[in-house]
Amino acid sequence: MHFSKDLRVLVLTHRCAIANGAGIDESSGSERHCFTSDPLVALLWFVERYAGGDPFDFVVFELAVIPRGVEYFLHGVRALSPATKIIVLVGARSSLAIKVFAHDYHSQLAGM
């Protein structure tokens, strides 16, 4: 996955997710952070950057599996920054499911 160098991308990786970033070619304006267990910790990274005046064009959320509570993260990002695109990468690199989320998170998560 390649992002243009002028885009701001926040990559949030679950500690047991894809070890080397699923082949994401990050732009110079990218940040990568790893969180441990709760998706709400990832939301705190986004809120901290957003409150500091750092809007992102994309948030990439890398997960090994879809954890309980991930919809709160998705709703939080959408509520704070409706223009931010959310990409969720789920699974091992060989069987990666990629989803760009719209507003109906519950049915989209169920379909992964």
Taking only the tens place, the pLDDT of each residue in 64-84 is: 777 777 777 788 888 888 888
| pLDDT value for 94 | 45
Percent of the chain with pLDDT over 70: 64
Closest CA to 89 of 23, 2, 3: 23
Whether 39 shows a pLDDT value over 80: the answer reads: no
Closest CA to 52 of 80, 88, 21: 80
Whether 31 shows a pLDDT value over 80: the answer reads: no
| CA distances from residue 63 to 81, 88, 111 in whole angstroms, order as listed | 21, 7, 15
Question: What is the value of pTM for the model shown?
Answer: 0.68
* pLDDT classification of 45: cutoffs 50, 70, 90: confident
